[in-house]
A and B are shown apart, each in its own frame.
Chain A
Amino acid sequence: MIYKEYSNITQVDSSLIFVEGLEAPKYNEVVKIFSNLGSLEGQIIDASSNISVIQVFGNMLGLDPKSVRILPKGKPYSIKLNEELIGRIFNGRFYPIDNGPSIIKGEEYDVNGYPINPYARETPNSFVETGISVIDGLITLAKGQKLPLFSGSGLPHNKIAVQISSQAKVSDNTLIVFGAMGVNSDEARFLINEFRERGLLRKTVSFINLASDPSIERILLPRIALTTAEYLAYEKGYDVIVILTDITNYCETLREISSAKKEIPGRRGYPGYMYTDLASIFERSGVLKGKKGSITQIPILTMPQDDITHPIPDLTGYVTEGQITLSRRLHKLGIYPPIDILSSISRMMNNAIGKGKTREDHSSLSSQLFASYSEYIEVSRLMELVGEGALSEDDLSLIRFGRKFEKEFINQGFNERRGIENTLNKGWEVLSEIKPERLTRLKQEFINKYGKWNKE
């Protein structure tokens, strides 16, 4: 096939090129762009017999419009994949940054992927033990789930991500696909070093876009990472855990592009289609009929001003299957992982726990822990106002419970791994601060069997 070059550029914006008279342009088609800056790539986002619009991947600072030549490639952004990419590190456009060779062999995949047929899905219902009590006990992760970390700046989300990656046992055939968007180089180094020290690097495929790299590549990066994950999971049979960080940076880029395109902004300037765009990332996960492998996603985002109603966490929460929310209060108290259970939830939990999966009492125990902790929070607020003296004995027992729960159940070491039995037993232990009659969500048979009250 012979490709033709074009140079009728009518306009150039920060990330867009407007070109006239392309012959039969296709929507989403990739183009090569030659200019005084060298060679770049772009994608046709408005294909027209008149003026077509090209979204450019890369920095156009200093571009001379007169030097631009456009070469359409006739197909959407695609990459070639084979198993040699396991253990490798790439940038946001799939170029190696670990001094290894490029991946040029293998079948070709459109990075935008195709929607998974809902009928092909199986409900995620196998328990994944992360070894972290508060997650396994109360925000249980299931294989094939998408469960994000809602964090804030300065909170230890990266540590938690590392701990989950290294401790989570999906199967013996687990791989990690790690995608970093707009992270600073310290963060990237921390993560890569931790992966290396824990012997995880050879089981990881990393894609890294630093804060200093072209922001536009953040749009491609998760798509490349997930195309890789789909290949490894659904064609090669691996159980893949995908960690994407930081979704907030990704969304900022979406906003930039949208305003460059002069689109009508939605809430707080983010584009109206951000929900759909995020869904096109997070829905690329799951357990599928007749496929051995699976994709479990743990995206990380930092909530601007710790505001969970901000469009980024809000829309993410609408797409994902729960969220693990970090708390500044617990972090200040020195508790790790500082997870606020009340604003956290795993929507797949009910399918992944219980007899045969974790333990028969898991559901009612966790429900009780949630209820009691929520009462504790209320009572402790009251205590700040009226002082300890005004509290009833029942209330005081809640206070003792809450503190113990935070210090002994939630709190655990960065390298400490707790089995599920251990986690559930600890749950019963902290509950024993409260009189059993106050615990209306526990079944009597479980109180008898697992309760840790001193039986007088």
Chain B
Amino acid sequence: MAIKRISGPLVVAEGLSSGIGEVVRLGKKRIIGEVIRIRGKEFFIEAYEDTSSLGVGEEVEETHFPLSVVLGPGMLGKIYDGLQRALDSMLSKEGIFIHGKEDYFPLDTNKKWDFYPLVKKGDKVREGQIIGKVREGNIDHFILVPLGFHGEVNSIKEGSFTVKDPICTIENKEVFLYQRWPIRKPRPYLSKLDIKSPLVTGQRVIDFLFPIGEGGKAAIPGPFGSGKTVLQHQLAKWASSDIVVYVGCGERGNEMADLLESFSNLVDSNGNPLLQRTVLIANTSNMPVAAREASIYVGITIAEYFRDLGYKVSVMADSTSRWAEALREISGRLEEMPGEEGYPSYLGSRLAEFYERAGKVKTLSGKEGSVTVIGAVSPPGGDLSDPVSQNTLRLVRCFWGLDAKLAYSRHYPAINWGISYSLYIDDLEEWFKKSVGNDYKFLREWILNTLNKSDEIQQIANLVGFNALPDQEKETLKIARLIKEGFLIQSAFDENDAYSSLKKQYIIVKAIKLLYDKEMDKILKGQKFDEIKDNDFVQTILKMKIMKDDEIEKEFEKLSYDLQRI
């Protein structure tokens, strides 16, 4: 059972009895690895930690367990690395640099939780059924029958326990507040449910133009600096989820620090810090590449677990391209036959497996829960023909394409309305009709049409000049500009603008439409474009996005009243 070869994250050993997917510990440093291929006597192992100084001849320790996460109370507000090791414990033990000296159990083992049983001795229980709950922050953290357990409850306790105290026995097997689950295996559910309601994000261009269903899947491709990360942070902060799992996969450390800091300071509508509903997974670009690959699965498994407790969960993965590069790196070391751009031929199926774990479901316990997946994609040079973008496009139903040109002119979020789409529109139409306004669909189409028309007119204007355009086209350009400045552009850094309620979104659009109708009418009746004096109206509309909800309603009434008199 010794190491024969080490080449970066790939380690080859002989004399093991492990199966594929099982965890081994390598050498004196007990580096975590996973068996990924067996060929004759040779076991190929992907090492999840830095293999520097690991030597040929060192021992391999077998665990015969698949790579798993620990699921239970105490994950909320935590920041983990790609293998679910608590980075705060690591900082206090190892200092500012990561050495990976020991195992860090993901949950606080000293903290006591008040456990209330919800089943009795003698009850028959099934896998995934709720047996009790503890209160964690602002949620009920239900305790589920672990998978593989079923039968009669022999005993169940009530009181204060740590996660390592047994609270119940089922058919003579002990149950704890936590359970383990292998990261590569989707957690089971009863059935998938249709998506009928959106994840409300408070981001105008998303909610109004390209909405995502709760339990849906979306991709955010864009070149560097186009705003993928800021958008994901915005969604993590404001989206109508109960729980957010944020996976920083191969990206910057400072972004994780920024998230932690702002989530500790921001509170939700109940006054609870946002961090309380968040689990952060940080496997930054300078941390071991192979663990990047694991981090995505760690994140989605944790998300599925909260889904199974009956919550609306969203997963942000920034960036799935870095995850794919980790796949490519390992594949290259295994000397597998490379596919396009060196990515392994199974890139597409791996991506599909990941996005397939999104969805709205009826859980084993009969509750409803959902996992919405939003993945950033970082195409080389911003060119969407790369294999990761192309494969992702086939899988997601929402596509928010970020554009360097918009970003360069500081039009944020730089979502290009020409290439973006949402395939949830029809599923969500009813919901929007009821919750926003009967004319939602009409207004949405009007905006998109106006933007598209103005893009065409702009091309002509670029050749002949604005002054040479007919008045109607001038008006369209002006209104499109107002849509951009007053509606689409949304600053993540302005406290009044960062989140926009649906009501506010609707009113702004109504206001712009009202102005347009009025002015177009006048132009059609022969008034000159240059003679329309509407600066006050425009200024009011431009200010709407930073108004409070009650304020904006009054402004809108005033505006419609004033518009009628001109």
Contacts and interface: CB of A to CB of B under 8 A. Distances in A.
A47 B408 contact: no
Nearest to A390: B465
Interface stretch (B149-157, B181-189, B247-255, B442-450): B247-255
Contact of A283 (B248, B284, B535): B284
Interface stretch (A191-199, A339-347, A405-413): A339-347
Contact of B225 (A272, A290, A317, A386): A317
Nearest to A113: B97
A321 interface: yes
A117 B289 contact: no
A87 to B, nearest CB: 26
Contacts of A381: 462
B57 A24 contact: yes
Interface in B319-369: 322, 325, 328-329, 332, 338, 341-342
B382 interface: yes
Contacts of B282: 118-119
Given A27-B52, A264-B332, A283-B253, A119 B90 contact: yes
Interface string A284-307: 101011110000000000000000
Contacts of B248: 118
Interface in B42-69: 50-58
Nearest to B332: A264
Contacts of A120: 91, 95-96
A92 interface: no
Interface in A8-47: 22, 24-29, 45-47
A432 interface: no
Contact of B342 (A45, A49, A234, A272): A272
Contacts of A113: 97
Contacts of B341: 266-267
A241 to B, nearest CB: 17
A43 B539 CA distance: 65
A119 B91 contact: yes
Contact of A29 (B53, B225, B253, B378): B53
A355 to B, nearest CB: 13
Given A27-B51, A48-B56, A309-B383, A264 B342 contact: yes
A314 B224 contact: yes
Interface residues on A, range: 35 or more
Nearest to B536: A437
B40 interface: no
Interface in A27-77: 27-29, 45-50, 75-76
Interface residues of B, number: 75
B536 to A, nearest CB: 10
A392 interface: yes
Interface stretch (A99-107, A178-186, A273-281): A273-281
Contacts, number: 220
Given A117-B97, A266-B342, A273-B329, A24 B55 contact: yes
B511 to A, nearest CB: 15
A47 to B, nearest CB: 5
Contacts of A28: 51-53
Contact of B285 (A267, A275, A311): A275
Given A288-B96, A386-B465, A276 B250 contact: yes
Interface stretch (B2-10, B271-279, B390-398): B2-10
Interface stretch (A126-134, A162-170, A366-374, A422-430): A366-374
Contacts of B461: 382
Given A117-B90, A323-B225, A381-B462, A25 B325 contact: no
A47 B96 contact: no
A283 B252 contact: yes
Contact of A272 (B6, B55, B325): B325
A309 B381 CA distance: 4
B52 A76 contact: yes
B87 interface: yes
A118 B87 contact: yes
B524 interface: no
Interface string A110-127: 101111111111111000
Contact of B493 (A26, A283, A350): A350
Contacts of A363: 493
Contacts of A286: 253-254
A47 B286 contact: no
Contacts of A420: none
Interface string A424-449: 00000000000001001000000000
A345 B52 CA distance: 36
Contact of B4 (A48, A273, A390): A48
A322 interface: yes
A439 B224 CA distance: 28
A275 B52 CA distance: 19
A26 B285 CA distance: 24
B289 A319 contact: no
A265 interface: yes
B270 interface: no
A3 to B, nearest CB: 14
Contacts of B193: none
Contacts of B429: none
Nearest to B51: A27
A49 to B, nearest CB: 5
Given A24-B56, A25-B56, A49-B57, A117 B91 contact: yes
A385 interface: yes
Contacts of B535: 437
B493 A118 contact: no
Contacts of A392: 466-467
A119 B408 contact: no
B127 interface: no
B459 to A, nearest CB: 11
Contact of B87 (A29, A114, A117, A437): A117
Given A120-B96, A390-B468, A371 B53 contact: no
Given A319-B252, A319-B285, A323-B225, A45 B94 contact: no
A374 B405 CA distance: 10
Nearest to A315: B380
A273 B96 contact: no
B286 A119 contact: no
A416 interface: no
Nearest to A284: B286
B481 to A, nearest CB: 9
Contacts of B261: 122-123
B338 A264 contact: yes
A25 B493 contact: no
A385 B225 contact: no
Contact of A343 (B51, B88, B328, B408): B408
Contacts of A116: 96-98, 253, 286
13 contacts: A22-B56, A26-B55, A26-B56, A27-B7, A76-B53, A110-B52, A114-B98, A119-B282, A263-B332, A321-B252, A345-B407, A374-B409, A392-B467
Given A29-B55, A348-B254, A367-B410, 14 more contacts: A25-B56, A27-B53, A47-B54, A50-B5, A115-B284, A119-B87, A120-B91, A121-B253, A122-B261, A290-B96, A342-B408, A345-B225, A374-B408, A385-B462
Interface of A: 22, 24-29, 45-50, 75-76, 110, 112-124, 144-145, 234, 263-267, 272-273, 275-276, 279-280, 283-284, 286, 288-291, 309-311, 314-315, 317-319, 321-323, 342-343, 345, 347-348, 350-351, 363, 367, 370-371, 374, 378, 381-382, 385-386, 390-392, 395, 437, 440
Closest 5 CB pairs of A and B: A279-B285, A309-B381, A114-B97, A283-B286, A121-B257
